[in-house]
Structure 1
Amino acid sequence: MAPIPTPPAEPADTPDAYVGLEASGAERQARERGWSAVRSLPPGAVITMEYRVGRLNFEVTDGRVTRCWKG
Structure 2
Amino acid sequence: MAPIPTPGAGPQDSPDTYVGLDAQSAEQQALEHGWRTVRKLPPGAIITMEYLEGRLNFQVEDGAVTRCWKG
Assess same fold via TM > 0.5: yes
User: Are residues 1:26 and 2:40 paired?
Assistant: no
DSSP-derived class of the 1:28 partner: helix
Deviations 1:15-53 (A, max 9, x none): 010000000000000000000110000000000011111
TM-score (norm 2): 0.94
Q: Does 2:58 correspond to 1:70?
A: no
d(CA) in 2 for partners of 1:9, 1:62: 32
Q: Structure 1 stretches of 5 or more lacking a match? A: none
Q: CA deviation at 1:3?
A: 2.4
Between the aligned partners of 1:59 and 1:15, the Cα distance in structure 2 is 11
2 CA distance for matches of 1:9 and 1:45? 28
Q: State which drifts further: 4-13 or 24-33.
A: 4-13
Structure 2 unaligned regions, length at least 5: none
Describe how 1:1-71 pairs up with structure 2 within 5 A: 1-71=1-71
The SS at the match of 1:6 is coil
CA distance in 1, matches of 2:12, 2:5: 21
